[in-house]
Amino acid sequence: MRGAADASTRSRAVPPSGDNRPVEFWPTAAIRAALESDDLNVWQRIVVAIKRDPYGRTARQVEEVLETARPYGVSRAMSEVLIRTREHLEANECAEVARHVHLLLERSGLGEQEFASRIGVPAEDFAAYLRGSESPAASLMIRMGRLSDRFAKMRSQRSSD
C-alpha cells in the first residue's frame, strides 16, 4: 500500500511533459521526481530553466536533489549543466566588467599606467581588469568611476574655456 501512495505522490509531483507551467514554479519534490524519471523532455525543460538563471530557484533545487540523492544516469549530466552554465555566466560577467573598466579609462582621458596609479593598484592588476581575466572589487569600481568622472569633468571644462 505504501508503494501505491508513493507512486501517486510522485505522479502529482512531476508535471507531465505536456504541462506548460514554467519549471521555475515546480516544487522540489517535482524536480526530484523529474530527475528520477526517464523523461528526456522534462530533463530538457529543467536544463533550459538552469541556463536561463544559473543561480535561480530551479538550479538551487537541482543542487539540493543532487546533494541528497544521485538520480541514476542524469545526475552527472545535471551537475555538468550547473557547472558549465555558471562558468559561462561568470565569463560573460567578467567581460562586461572589462568593457565598463575600458569605458571608465577612455572617459578619463588618462593612460593605463596613470589610471592604475591613481586608483592605487599595480599596473599588472589593472591590465588584468581590462582583459577581463580578473574583476575588481565593487569598492574599486566606485573609485574608478569617481576618478573617471573627475577627469572627464576637468576635460569638459578645459574644452569649454
Least confident of 34-43, 81-90, 135-144: 34-43
DSSP one-letter code for 73? T
Residues in the chain: 161
pLDDT value for 21 = 85
pLDDT band at 143 (very low <50, low <70, confident <90, very high): very high
pLDDT in tens, 68-111: 877 677 888 999 999 999 999 999 999 999 999 999 999 999 99
pLDDT value for 146 = 97
- 23 within 8 A of 4, measured Cβ to Cβ: no
pLDDT in tens, 113-129: 999 999 999 999 999 99
Q: Where are the domains of the chain?
A: 2-72, 91-160
Read out DSSP for 32-68? Answer: HHHHHS--HHHHHHHHHHHHH-TTSHHHHHHHHHHHH
Task: Report the sign of the C-alpha dihedral through residues 134, 138, 142, 145, in that order.
Answer: positive
Q: How far is CA 63 from the centre of its chain?
A: 15
The CATH number of the structural domain formed by 91-160 is 1.10.260
